[in-house]
Amino acid sequence: MMETHSVASGDAHGLALALSPVLQEHTGGRLGPIEWFRSRWQRGGAATGFSTWRRAGGQSLDVFVKLPVGPREFRWTTEMGVMRDDDWDQEWCSILPTPRVVACGTELGGYDLAWIITERLHGHPLAANLDKAGVLELIRSAADFQARAMTLAPLEACPPNPDWKKLIEKAKEVAREGDLPEANRWKEALRHVKRARPILEGRWASRPINTWCHGDLHAGNAMRRNAPQEGGGPCVLVDLALVHPGHWLEDALYLERQHWGHADMLHGVKPLTELAKLRRQRRLPVDDHYPELANVRRVLMAACAPAMIEREGNPQYLHAALDVIERLLPQAVK
């Protein structure tokens, strides 16, 4: 067996350049020259590039190359998207909610390194020009993702919940000592949340774990399958590094929370209501009391906003989070 070595993500670009010929040889010459790049949408330490792929029948595809890929992203990108070359043009294949995978592996050139080659998604993420149709398609893709993921893998143990007590205490400290807008209202709201925290935390911890959640659902992680001149095509979810077992409403509330303070960007769409409707259409379970559970999650996340002020310090977001607590806390604990 060939000896393998680990690689740090910081070395990714240089390693990608060095391993390009190795990857082309490893794929039997079907992968063309790779144009490595980094875009403003990209996060993380992986190297990414565009290339072409020669199918078995000789047709050429535009493809996207990424290395190294983390274990969770590799698992779900490949489980959701790997298919036979013969299936590529089938209708079911052309509407998959995640990128189609043409090749992948976990070792390359003696390195213990996961890599994937997927179809290239054209244009910019939906976030570049998000309209109402785009919001609806994003949520539709989330429903399709949840439905497909449940057919591929049994649910595993849910990851630990955040340390709500610690986060709320930190939020109180920021409200007490920091330069926080509406500090007095925050102190009063957090006093009530602290008192209710055991109830809120217990209700959230006892939620049913009933789906695989995408975990990072927002318009920056969604692209069109086809080129703009071809009508754009289906919405495809990318960045599967945060997929996890959870309650189905988590994806909807994650999307909703991204727009606290900027609700107009959702164009009147209510992510939770829309996802519940789409799950019913797909014959996926929708529990009767999900609105009450959603309010518990909203209040817990809103109460943490001051604790994350370095990342979520936008005054409009903080004001909206404060409003969530004041409006929904009574409903969440009744």
Supply the pLDDT for residue 251: 98
Question: Which pLDDT band holds residue 5 (cuts at 50, 70, 90)?
Answer: very low
Phi and psi for 42 in degrees, rounded to 5? Answer: -85, 140
Residue pointed to by tokens 């990714």: 12
Q: What are 173-227's pLDDT values in tens digits?
A: 999 987 889 999 999 999 999 999 999 999 999 999 999 999 999 999 999 998 6
Q: What are 54-100's pLDDT values in tens digits?
A: 999 899 999 999 999 999 999 999 999 998 888 988 999 989 999 99
Supply the pLDDT for residue 40: 53
Q: What is the mean pLDDT of residues 312-323?
A: 91
Q: What are 128-157's pLDDT values in tens digits?
A: 999 999 999 999 999 999 999 999 999 999
Supply the pLDDT for residue 228: 64
- Domain ranges (residues) in the chain: 9-120, 127-333
Enclosing H/E stretch for 205: helix 183-205
Supply the pLDDT for residue 201: 97
Question: Which pLDDT band holds residue 310 (cuts at 50, 70, 90)?
Answer: confident
Rounded-to-integer distance, Cα 226 and Cα 211, Å: 28
Axis crossing angle, helix 183-205 with helix 290-303, rounded to the nearest 10: 130
pLDDT of 127 higher than 90: yes
The answer to whether domain 9-120 and domain 127-333 are alike in fold is: no
CATH 3.30.200.20 is right for the domain spanning 9-120: yes
Q: What is the mean pLDDT of residues 13-35?
A: 91
| Tokens describing residue 110 | 């003696």
pLDDT of 240 higher than 50: yes
Supply the pLDDT for residue 8: 43
Q: What is the mean pLDDT of residues 23-28?
A: 94
Question: Which pLDDT band holds residue 170 (cuts at 50, 70, 90)?
Answer: very high
CATH number of 127-333: 3.90.1200.10
